[in-house]
Chain A
């Protein structure tokens, strides 16, 4: 049951990575998509990151009731959980909803209104022209969004922690600067790139093979988000298992 769509997905990816007809036009599309995916998602990523950091700090402080554990541990936990899990994974799930549904519905609408057929009649490799710029834009901008998310999450945690009195400014700074393992950041970037690829390619696949009308475009969009989220969580586990 899974092999037929998986085979179609791989064949689609093969067509996506075929040599572009004209790099100049693709370049323009890549920059356009970078603005749409990167800049367009900055607001939502900023909001969720600040609150994720704040909530993590407050809840960690609530659970660390023992006097034997220094308060600076809260900062360490926030830093590591933001880098390893919260920022890459939660951002990816949110982006699967925002970017994934947009990609699937955009390509799906082009399919049902024969715009993809028009591209093919002209001799243009439609998977390449429509999907490759989105993938390149996502794998370059989503890691940047994740870095911003880490920064904002730690900032949110700082304000929530100090404002609530859970820990002092000094404890927090000691926490986030002690025993930092740079490999966690590498794992975070690996996750961000893989999640970005999953979001765009899975959503584009759903959109590209849409058939019917407006109802089916909506269904493709929903399927794109659901499948992307499952694939993100599954690959999150695989990456953690392999790299840590």
Chain B
């Protein structure tokens, strides 16, 4: 009886020690990971900052202007090209121009769909 209790106690001792060790090493590992991640975040932040600076440098107005002058076939904005939204002309009434064309050619009948071979680019018989 006592011997069994001793064995159980020793086993519990070893078990709890092992558990404590595993928890401890997990903690150390986790804190290492935190430090690493923090470094990673700081690095990424620096990289983002560098990219922001680079973007600002590449999109600086004098560079864009020089590139636009050299590469694009565009004119400087004339004041006459600026209009208010109210000054835009109203939409023209919607017109089915293709339908009207067909109508004027009197092709828009009941059997408006032309049969193959009569129209179209590809002749039915070679």
Q: Do the two shown chains form a genuine complex with each other?
A: no
Interface residues of B (CB under 8 A from A): none
Interface residues of A (CB under 8 A from B): none
